Chain A
């Protein structure tokens, strides 16, 4: 038979009631503390799937199953974008480096990393059995200097953006990207060619 109007309105009112309860339960901490159980105790409610306001936009779009059109795969990133990506890459590699230093210290003792680093050529020769001359030290110095310098310059640029909002034009950003890549390369090359004398405090902190 035909459903009467009352039936529709009744159902709608019940649905609205459940929806409002769950909306209020999620948005009001008082109600949440008092009765969080209404939703969980009745899992067969289909309204429950609507009552999930913590789903982000991306998650809801995922649920539709639709594919994303290609964007990063087909777009050639400008240098400004690469300068930002490189900040992240240098940060990741530096984090990995600090993890290795920390782990090696825990495993081998407080002075091991410093001792090995001071004598890197000999150490690589011992580990690999081949003599590379002074190349390992140069590569290590250049890499560490480049990572630190680029990361520092990128963070400084970001701080300038945050605090002064200067340089938010394409021109300025492109210039800053060139400056960052160039300055890091120059600084790292200069530092890598430079050596320090042996540590004067050989027995510091045992």
Chain B
């Protein structure tokens, strides 16, 4: 809504600053202010470590998992463990997803510079996360639960009735 001529003169007057990209060490905090509105959901889903919201979620989830792990171990066979199981079933796939995006950002570029490779890896990771999420949900709702399933490696075989 400003004509290009107006913008040119305004910028020319105050001196144009060519953006020099400051090296941003954290992908979640890019040098140029982050993504535009339309890109935000897509970035958070498929490129989670490039969105600062995703990284904030990741850090909070880590704290939650640190508490939930021993809680699940201690509470396990009882029904008190049910909310812990549900929480684990939601948080573990999210944690794996954002962490996996981190790994892809770090290493995919070193294998091939082709963007298609990295993007296909990210889409694959999203699929893996969906499968994990739905599978753990089913385990919690229609099976013995996440903790009990892991504990069953320690259990001896059920005696035949």
Contacts and interface: CB of A to CB of B under 8 A. Distances in A.
A136 B1 CA distance: 71
A19 interface: yes
Interface in B1-56: 1-2, 4, 7-8, 11-12, 16-19, 21, 23-24, 30-33, 36
Contacts of A32: 36
A124 B132 CA distance: 24
B19 A53 contact: yes
Contacts of B116: none
Interface residues of A, number: 74
A105 B155 contact: no
B contact residues, range? 35 or more
A199 B152 contact: yes
Given A102-B132, A105-B138, A162-B59, A194 B66 contact: no
B11 A20 contact: yes
A137 interface: yes
A185 interface: no
A183 interface: no
Interface of A: 13, 16-17, 19-21, 23-24, 26-27, 29-32, 34-35, 38, 50, 53-58, 60, 62, 88, 91-92, 94-95, 98-99, 101-106, 109-111, 113-115, 117-120, 122, 137, 140-141, 144, 148, 152, 155-156, 158-159, 162, 191, 194-202, 204-206
Interface of B: 1-2, 4, 7-8, 11-12, 16-19, 21, 23-24, 30-33, 36, 59, 62-63, 65-66, 69-70, 77, 92-93, 96, 99-100, 103, 109, 113, 128, 131-136, 138-139, 141-145, 148-159
6 contacts: A94-B96, A102-B134, A105-B135, A141-B153, A195-B154, A198-B155
